[in-house]
Chain A
Amino acid sequence: MREYLLGNVAIAKGILEAGAGVVSGYPGTPSSEIVDYLAPLAKEQGIHVEWSVNEKVAMEVAIGASWTGTRSVVTMKHVGLNVAADPFMTLAYLGVGGGMVVISADDPYCHSSQNEQDSRRYAQFARVPCLDPADPQEARDMTVRAFALSEKFGLPVMLRPTTRVSHARADVEVGPPTKRMDSPRFEKNPPRRVALPVHARPLHAELLDKQAGIEAALAEEPWNRAEMKSEVGVIASGISGLYAEEAIARMEADVSLLRIGTYPIPRRIVGDFLERVERVLVVEEMDPVVEEFVEMVAKERNPDVEILGKRSGAIPGVGELDPLSVQDAIAGMMDLPKRAAPKMSPEVLSILPPRPPALCPGCSHRATYYAMRKAFGKDAIYPNDIGCYTMGVGMGTVDTCLCMGASITVGAGIRFGGEEKPICAVLGDSTFLHSGLTGLLNAAYNGAKMTVTILDNSITAMTGHQPHPGTGCTACGETSPALSLEDICRSLGAGFVETADPYDLESMIDVFERARDHPGLSVVVAKRPCVISEIRSGVRRPRFKVDEEKCGGCKLCVKFGCPAIEFDGKVAKINALCSGCGVCAQICPEKAIEVVK
Chain B
Amino acid sequence: MRTSECDVVVVGVGGQGVILISEIIGRAAMMAGLSVRGVETHGMAQRGGSVINHIRVGCSFSAMISLGSADVLLAMEPAEALRYAHYLSPEGVALVNTRPVLPVTVTTGEASYPPIEEILAPLRAVSSEVKAMDASGLATKAGSPQATNVVMLGALSTHLPIEEATLLSALSETVPARFLEINRKAFELGKIEVE
A 373-416 binary contact with B (CB < 8 Å = 1; else 0):
00000000000000010010000000000000000000000000
Contacting pair B1 A565 (CB below 8 A): no
User: Are A324 and B68 touching (Cβ within 8 A)?
Assistant: yes
**By the criterion of a CB under 8 Å from any partner CB, how many residues of chain A are at the interface?**
60
- A112 touching B107 in the complex, CB below 8 Å, given contacts A324-B69, A341-B67, A355-B13: no
B60-99 residues at the A interface, CB under 8 angstroms: 61-64, 66-69, 79-80, 82-83, 85-86
CB pair A357 B62 closer than 8 Å: no
A566 adjacent to B122 (CB under 8 Å) = no
Q: Which residues of chain B come closer than 8 Å to A324, judged between CB atoms?
A: 66-69
Query: Which residues of chain A are near B23, meaning CB under 8 Å?
Result: 4
Q: Which residue of A lies closest to B109 (CB)?
A: A567
Q: Which residues of B contact A527 (CB under 8 A)?
A: none
A206 on the interface (CB 8 Å rule)?
no
Asked, given contacts A112-B43, A355-B103, A561-B108, whether A171 binds B30 with beta carbons under 8 Å apart, the answer is: yes
> Distance in Å from the Cβ of A35 to the closest Cβ of chain B?
14
Cβ of B44 within 8 Å of any chain A Cβ, yes or no, is: yes
A243 and B43 contact, CB distance less than 8 A: no
Asked if A462 lies at the interface with its beta carbon under 8 angstroms from chain B, I say yes
Complex alpha-carbon distance, A562 and B85, angstroms: 29
Interface string of B94-116 (1 = CB under 8 A from A): 00000000111111110111100
Using CB atoms, name the residue of chain B closest to A4: B26
Say yes or no: B1 contacts A349, CB within 8 Å.
no
Contacts A322-B66, A323-B64, A558-B107 given; does A358 touch B48 at CB 8 Å: yes
Q: How far is the CA of A388 from the CA of B45 in the complex (A)?
A: 10
A 219-246 to B, binary, CB cutoff 8 A, 1 in contact else 0: 0000000000000000000010011011
Q: Please tell me which stretch of A162-170, A189-197, A287-295 contacts chain B, meaning at least 4 of its Cβ atoms lie within 8 angstroms of it.
A: A162-170
List of B residues within 8 angstroms of A360 by Cβ: 47-48
Contact between chains at A357 and B42 (CB < 8 Å): no
Q: For A387, give the chain B residue with the smallest CB separation.
A: B44
Which residues 541-582 of A sit at the B interface, judged by CB distance below 8 A?
555, 558-559, 561-563, 565-567, 575
B35 proximal to A (CB < 8 A)? yes
State A473–B175 Cα separation when bound (angstroms): 29
Residues of B close to A358: CB separation below 8 A: 47-49, 103-104
Q: Are B114 and A352 in contact (CB under 8 A)?
A: yes
On chain B, the residues within 8 Å of A353 by CB distance are 79, 102-103, 105-106, 111-113
Task: Contact check, A343 vs B30: say whether CB atoms are below 8 A apart.
Answer: no
CB of A319 to closest CB in B, whole Å: 13
| Contact string against B for A residues 1-31, beta-carbon threshold 8 Å, 1 for contact and 0 otherwise | 0111000000000000000000000000110
For the complex, is A134 an interface residue (Cβ under 8 Å from B)?
yes
- The smallest beta-carbon distance between A312 and chain B, in angstroms, is 23
For A355, give its contact among B50, B85, B119, B122 (CB under 8 Å): B50
| Bound form: Cα–Cα A563–B80 in Å | 17
Q: Name the A residues within 8 Å of B2 (CB-CB).
A: 250
Pick the contact of B26: A169, A349, A462, A559 (CB < 8 A): A169
Which residues of chain B come closer than 8 Å to A134, judged between CB atoms?
A: 62
- In the complex, are the beta carbons of B114 and A351 less than 8 A apart? yes
Within 8 A of B (CB), among A351-365: 351-360
Pick from B46, B107, B109 the residue with the most CB of A within 10 Å: B107
Q: Scan A170-182; emit 1 where CB is below 8 A from any B CB, else 0.
A: 1100000000000
| In the A-B complex, the 3 residue pairs with the closest CB atoms | A112-B43, A357-B49, A29-B43
Binding site for A on B (CB under 8 A): 1-3, 13-14, 22-23, 26-27, 29-30, 35-50, 61-64, 66-69, 79-80, 82-83, 85-86, 102-109, 111-114, 118-119, 122, 126
- Given contacts A167-B41, A169-B37, list 13 more A-B pairs with CB under 8 A: A4-B23, A4-B29, A135-B37, A164-B64, A168-B63, A246-B61, A250-B3, A351-B82, A353-B102, A357-B49, A360-B48, A391-B44, A563-B103
A-B residue pairs in contact (CB < 8 Å), sample of 10: A4-B27, A29-B43, A168-B63, A171-B36, A242-B61, A243-B64, A249-B3, A353-B112, A355-B103, A360-B48
